[in-house]
Amino acid sequence: MMSLNRIPTSLYTCFLILFSLALISCSTATDPYQEGITSYNKGEYALAANSFRKAAEQGDAMAQFNLAVMYDDGEGVEQDKAMAVKWYRMAAEQGNAEAQFNLAVMYDYGNGVAQDRTEAVRWYREAAEQGDAEAQINLGISYDLGEGIAQDKAQAAAWYCRAARQGNADGQYYLGLAYALAEGVNPDPVMAYMWIHLASAQGDQRARDTLEKIELFMTPAQIAEAQELASEWEPNQP
């Protein structure tokens, strides 16, 4: 039985500035959203929250997402998970993948909303289908464990694969385990080693430990083949 760990919302907290800076560079007009970015970068979080709120109320999805993150973390506003859910939902319904992922996690763990794994799966899928690797992993885990949806190891492996092909270390690790344990895919020690090796190369300690165990059941020729495949691999290959 593989050990599975879902990706938490905290991964997306760092996107607050990163996504915002990318968008501000494309805008020259002063608006509430841009004012929010300026205030946030100065450490004026309460002012930033007020500006994001103005833009969010005008329907700006990124402002809605940023305001949700601030409520989620209690930054510039009093922490309020229910308010975070409200604004994540508004951004998610506009198609914002980051908000969809965070909303899914809120439902998954019952933060600010009643726990509902079925609803979590719905939003993981929305984000995953937009190419969000973390959502793809969590959707895969939902299928793997049968939480919020009927257990389906093949679907789990398929979603791990989509994340793995983007270069996501968690996706590579879980896909490698699927090949090693023949869960949802045909057993293939070479493919198992290749994917786990790729995750290990990104610093994943679980992957490093697992490689040592897999090697015990492989021939030198199989290991060499897997290492060669890993050296030739590039993200988003067919």
Question: Which DSSP string corresponds to 163-189?
Answer: HHHTT-HHHHHHHHHHHHHTSSS---H
Is position 44 within any domain? no
Distances, alpha carbon 88 to alpha carbons 10, 70, 223, in Å: 14, 11, 45
Mean pLDDT, the chain, whole residue set: 91
CA distance 134 to 146: 18
CA distance 21 to 29: 14
pTM score, whole prediction: 0.88
Q: What is the pLDDT of residues 111-120, one digit of tens each?
A: 999 999 999 9
Q: What is the pLDDT of residues 55-111, one digit of tens each?
A: 999 999 999 999 999 999 999 999 999 999 999 999 999 999 999 999 999 999 999
How many structural domains compose the chain?
1
Q: What is the pLDDT of residues 114-151, one digit of tens each?
A: 999 999 999 999 999 999 999 999 999 999 999 999 99
Burial (0-12, 13-18, 19+ Cβ within 10 Å), 13: middle
Domain that includes residue 198, residue range:
168-238
Is position 137 within any domain? no
Is position 238 within any domain? yes
Is position 157 within any domain? no
Is position 194 within any domain? yes
**Encoding tokens for residue 185?**
């895919």
